[in-house]
Structure 1
Amino acid sequence: METTKDIPDFPLIISVDDHTVEPADVWQSRLPKKYLDTGPRIVRAPLKEISFLGGRFRPVMGAPGDDGPLGDWWLYEGLQRPLTRLDTAVGYSRDEIKLEVITYEQMRPGSYDVPQRLADMDVNHVQSSVCFPSFPRFCGQTFTEAADHELGLLCVQAYNDWMVEEWCGPQAQGRLIPLTLIPLWDAELAAAEVRRNAARGVRAVAFSEIPPHLGLPSVHSDDWDPFLAACAETGTVIAMHIGSSSRMPSTSKDAPPAVGSTITFANCCFSMVDWLMSGKFERFPNLRIMYAEGQIGWIPYILERADVVWEENRGWGGVADKVHRPPSELFAEHVYGCFFDDAFGLRNLDAIGVGNVLYETDYPHSDSTWPKSRQVGEAQMGHLAPEAVERIVRGNAIELLGLTPEGLWR
């Protein structure tokens, strides 16, 4: 972290990447009765074993009466997924954050409770916040991977109803900004869900950074066009979080998590090149995409390289017939990078574009800068003009997400 001058009037933060831990009743209170025994539900059970190596998370639930620490587990069809300290780590020192199961009582209440979340936002100089899901995973992969897609669609819709009506409901005072899910297995259903939510003011939808990793079509195909058309028509930004392909970058099966954590930006990098070379921005000129938690320091080189490849390899590169402008120009009009701690990227802001950068806090994850997101921002943006700081910290988010001039959701 750089140390530079403080910014006395540092703007109130609009964080475009935080997370919610869903309350236990999100699905049990919304699904039809016949699905309550197979839909998502919470049980308390011991942990038998747990590992996170090579980018793969492997928890094993013990049987009732077994030895082992107790935790709260989501059950859904055959899935057993525990709540862990990594889901909600704020308030703990770095040395205390371990890969361990926890209960709701052992997590910070702001993880799942709206008034407590607003209080934690106040502590952190945050006005408004966009939250990605936890149990559904970052773009709803949990429901996509399930066997029963009729139930899966109901689960997606139940989550979106909870997100809009409760998490971002009256208690939130406009400070929580909805981010909804789609049924990834059907682009027509996805388009319908985008439009259903756009009609009630939603302007952001989660999507996978690399859909083929989920067994889905790539953005180079026409399969996603109904979904992309719906997003373009409604002004819904496509938000892609690191890990939304269910495959965190790593180098080997035994690589420790620190390896993957260092190179998490790689998926965003690959994804952005996909989009820039796909021709979709020219076919759908109102499309906007953003990369949550990908940081920004890598962007200048990738844009430089993409422009060179587009120009020099157009004869055989396979994109001359669909990408008619330099990728860097398409980036400037369609792509947003998000960061919470990237001094290098901010030193090279001219090569990225002040209008293409958004700020985030990653509450309540272990990487979060809470409760010092203002101090981090001041230290890293002290060399920038006040108007640039204003755009990065809140102005760009207001424009992209269709917020009120005051930075609130409707």
Structure 2
Amino acid sequence: MDTHASTFPLIISVDDHTVEPAGVWQDRLPARYRDTAPRIVRAPLKEMSFLGGRFRPVMGEPGDEGPLGDWWVYGDLRRPLTRLDTAVGVDRDEVKLEVITYEQMRPGSYDVPARLADMDVNHVQSALCFPTFPRFCGQTFTEAGDRELALLCVRAYNDWMVEEWCGPRAQGRLIPLTLIPLWDPESAAAEVRRNAARGVRAVAFSEIPPHLGLPSVHTDAWDPFLAACDETGTVVAMHIGSSSRMPSTSADAPPAVGSVITFANCCFSMVDWLMSGKFERFPNLKVMYAEGQIGWIPYILERADVVWEENRGWGGVADKVTRPPSELFAEHVYGCFFDDAFGLRNLDSIGLGNVLYETDYPHSDSTWPKSREVGEAQMGHLPADVVERIVRGNAIELLELTSDGLWQGPA
């Protein structure tokens, strides 16, 4: 572990990412699924674009010209590994939308010992990691035609996450985040309880489920899942893009437009939850917004309170939201950030207990290997005890880590 003289606390990152090794599903599913389960194929790229928030890759045939990359093949899906999946260690000007192989990425992206070494370099003690191939809340399996196989894939991923990625080699420094079968809330509840029994306290969910063709949080459809989270203390973790639709303004808007306004999905989602009545029905429920930053939160809370106070009668929420949304936020919602000086200057308007720190390793937005330096620069005006809570204390409490900031596994 880094022993730098800095007094900046060791970081607990609540939003990093894992690039799944090639054998995650091939090694865990019954033999009869070997030819249909997700698998890696090395093939050339025919064409690829990322415009208007839509990612469109086309895999070439063997022998075609074009750069070679490693592709996940699953049913009709052909999804390449790209430089945007793992950009750390590459000069910013060299980070482009291109296909890559495992050999072309930093080993810490997929290898546990290498990840721990990269965490040491970055003053990070522990990290919660979102998926890559399944996408941020398992949309890949939700869209699959064979639901029996998809459910097995969700469970296999969760087994790999708990037993391998966060297994003994991780030394308690990797914190599990599991998936659910989004198409079946009852099965989702069962999967939450199965994983909670082995110490998991976070589950991925979609920021805006209707974008995936699923019910909204304003319906009762999700109640079995939410009840399971409420009962087990499992945090509902929503990453930007977990609705498979990144914010944009037009079909031809360059990725830079969407990159500036990524927080918008979190903003819309948070208002949904605050006006849904779910926090009053499930009083122990907690939700967190990964990579959404926090500077936008104060105005949204102000506006939500005004609407609730003045317009709740005709606004359709009087019978289910009986307290000001800002109060519900304080008890149930966490914003996650890695680079938000404005938010930190307005911390009193957000709430010290409602913010979490992240490094976004290994994505192009990541502050690795200088997350400590970024944190020191942006939090230098804050008292040491406040910095401690933001950088690790809130995460320890929310994710039920040990007092030393480690995941302890099954009780």
Place the TM-score, normalised by the shorter chain, in its bin: over 0.9
C-alpha deviations, 1:4-42, integer Å up to 9, x for none? xx9931000000000000000000001111111111000
Q: Distance in 2 between matches of 1:13 and 1:113?
A: 20
Give structure 2 stretches of 5+ with no counterpart. none
Q: 1:291 and 2:302 equivalent?
A: no
Shift of 1:347: 0.4
C-alpha deviations, 1:72-124, integer Å up to 9, x for none? 00000000000000000000111000000000000000000000000000000
Q: Distance in 2 between matches of 1:34 and 1:56?
A: 34
SS at match of 1:255: coil
SS at match of 1:130: strand
The answer on whether the counterparts of 1:304 and 1:328 sit within 8 Å (CA) in structure 2 is: yes
Could you tell me which residue of structure 1 aligns to residue 399 of structure 2?
A: 401
Moved over 3 A (4+): none
**Residues 225-374 of structure 1 correspond to what in structure 2 (within 5 A)?**
225-374=223-372
Task: State the number of aligned residues.
Answer: 405
Q: Distance in 1 between matches of 2:273 and 2:235?
A: 14
**Which letter does structure 1 place at the counterpart of 2:75?**
E
C-alpha deviations, 1:232-258, integer Å up to 9, x for none? 000000000000000000000000000
Q: 1:379 and 2:374 equivalent?
A: no
Q: 1:100 and 2:128 equivalent?
A: no
C-alpha deviations, 1:122-170, integer Å up to 9, x for none? 0000000000000000000000000011000000000000000000000
**Residues 194-205 of structure 1 correspond to what in structure 2 (within 5 A)?**
194-205=192-203
SS at match of 1:195: helix
Give structure 1 stretches of 5+ with no counterpart. 1-5
Could you tell me which residue of structure 2 aligns to residue 189 of structure 1?
A: 187
Q: Distance in 1 between matches of 2:248 and 2:366?
A: 21
**Residues 95-134 of structure 1 correspond to what in structure 2 (within 5 A)?**
95-134=93-132
SS at match of 1:282: helix
Q: TM-score by structure 1 length? A: 0.98
- Which of residues 41, 50, 53 is equivalent to 1:52? 50
C-alpha deviations, 1:339-396, integer Å up to 9, x for none? 0000000000000001000000000000000000000000000001111100000000
**Which letter does structure 2 place at the counterpart of 1:143?**
F
The answer on whether the counterparts of 1:89 and 1:97 sit within 8 Å (CA) in structure 2 is: yes
**Residues 51-90 of structure 1 correspond to what in structure 2 (within 5 A)?**
51-90=49-88
Q: Distance in 1 between matches of 2:29 and 2:7?
A: 47
SS at match of 1:328: helix
CA-based RMSD of the aligned residues comes to 0.9
**Which letter does structure 1 place at the counterpart of 2:335?**
G
Q: TM-score by structure 2 length? A: 0.98
Could you tell me which residue of structure 2 aligns to residue 22 of structure 1?
A: 20
The answer on whether the counterparts of 1:249 and 1:260 sit within 8 Å (CA) in structure 2 is: yes
SS at match of 1:314: helix
**Which letter does structure 1 place at the counterpart of 2:385?**
E
Could you tell me which residue of structure 2 aligns to residue 3 of structure 1?
A: none
Could you tell me which residue of structure 2 aligns to residue 150 of structure 1?
A: 148
**Which letter does structure 2 place at the counterpart of 1:170?**
P
The answer on whether the counterparts of 1:336 and 1:356 sit within 8 Å (CA) in structure 2 is: yes
Shift of 1:314: 1.7
Could you tell me which residue of structure 2 aligns to residue 219 of structure 1?
A: 217
